[in-house]
Amino acid sequence: MMRNFHKTFVIVAIIATFASGCRSTDEYKKFAEAGNSFAEATNSLLEDAEKITINTTSERLLSDRRTSGEFQPSDEAAKKFIARYNELSEGDKKRLELIKELRRHNQFLQAYFNKLLELAGSDSPDRSKAAVESIANNLQNTGSKLVSLSPIKIDRLPSVTKIVLDARIRGALREELEKRKFTIYQEITFQEKVLKQISDSAETDIQRLRDFQEYRLVLKPLTQSAQVSEDGWIEIRYQVLTQDGEVVTKIKNASDKLTKFKELFIASIEGDLTSKRLDNFIQETNSFSAFVSSQK
């Protein structure tokens, strides 16, 4: 989601300075560092989700092959198996495309905030306005693609009734935020919901993966092999039953962090982003990133 997400984080924090002028450079540095760690951790989790998706299908196909028995390439059974493979593989490709689009969507969101900061500090904002317009259009296009790729419906209208800009935000920055504040809120919501979907899908896949591998790697050798390395078998069984168990929790945690980030975006442009709130968020993201890294 998201290798450059830290830049989006720090820019949202900096936007608050145009409203209040009360943030310190050290706060922004800490915010950027926390965002960078969070981005790396979340990107790693998306790689885990891709791996789980592909491996679950691979295990399912191996299971199907075992139950189908031996067949020649010209047999009707072989043709059915190939059709089954293509069907399952197509599902994997759709899921991988969803994850790929999630990363692309975040790149445009990060680019939007970069240009927003440039717009705020520009004495001649016309060129920045054009760039912001182009990036915002790309962001909405990839957001629409995220919605279309989603296996379940994503509501396009987040539950927010109003966003009132702080009166101290002026000029071209105010004009842009007034124009697109709901759009950006919505695009962050899309990322949040897609992450939640990915975690739900991974939760189902992990259970299936365990079942398939428990039979292939644990039960089958125990019942069909003349000799079994007892210590090796115990280790394999442990690995099968405990693998990827925390991935779902971590991805859900990342989605929760996006929810809080969305709230920080609103607070920053409404002039309500306090130092305490910022520090709490930094602490939470650092703890999350450290937890993910420790499990690798």
- pLDDT per residue over 34-81, tens digit each? 555 666 677 778 888 899 999 999 999 999 888 877 666 668 888 888
Residue type, 80: K
Three-state DSSP class for 1?
coil
pLDDT band at 295 (very low <50, low <70, confident <90, very high): low
**Rounded distance between C-alpha atoms, residue 185 and residue 209, angstroms:** 36
Residue with tokens 């145009």: 18
pTM beyond 0.85, yes or no: no
Is a pLDDT exceeding 50 seen at residue 206?
A: yes
Return the ∠ at Cα 295 (arms to 291 and 296), rounded to 5°: 120
Is a pLDDT exceeding 50 seen at residue 22?
A: no
Residue type, 188: I
Q: 51: which residues sit within 8 A by CB, 6+ positions away? A: none
CA terminus-to-terminus distance, the chain: 18
Q: 52: which residues sit within 8 A by CB, 6+ positions away? A: 202, 205, 206, 209, 244, 247
Phi, psi of 157, rounded to the nearest 5 degrees = -115, 100
pLDDT of residue 272: 78
**Rounded distance between C-alpha atoms, residue 162 and residue 212, angstroms:** 49
**Rounded distance between C-alpha atoms, residue 196 and residue 255, angstroms:** 6
DSSP 215: I
Contact 183, 136 (CB under 8 A): yes
Average pLDDT of the chain, as a whole number: 79
The token pair that represents 125 in the structure block = 């904002």
The token pair that represents 152 in the structure block = 């379940």
The token pair that represents 103 in the structure block = 């990363």
pLDDT of residue 183: 86
Q: Tens digit of pLDDT for each residue in 262-293?
A: 787 788 777 777 778 777 877 787 787 777 77
Mean pLDDT of 3-31: 50
Dihedral sign (CA 107, 109, 115, 118): negative
Q: 11: which residues sit within 8 A by CB, 6+ positions away? A: 113, 114, 116, 117
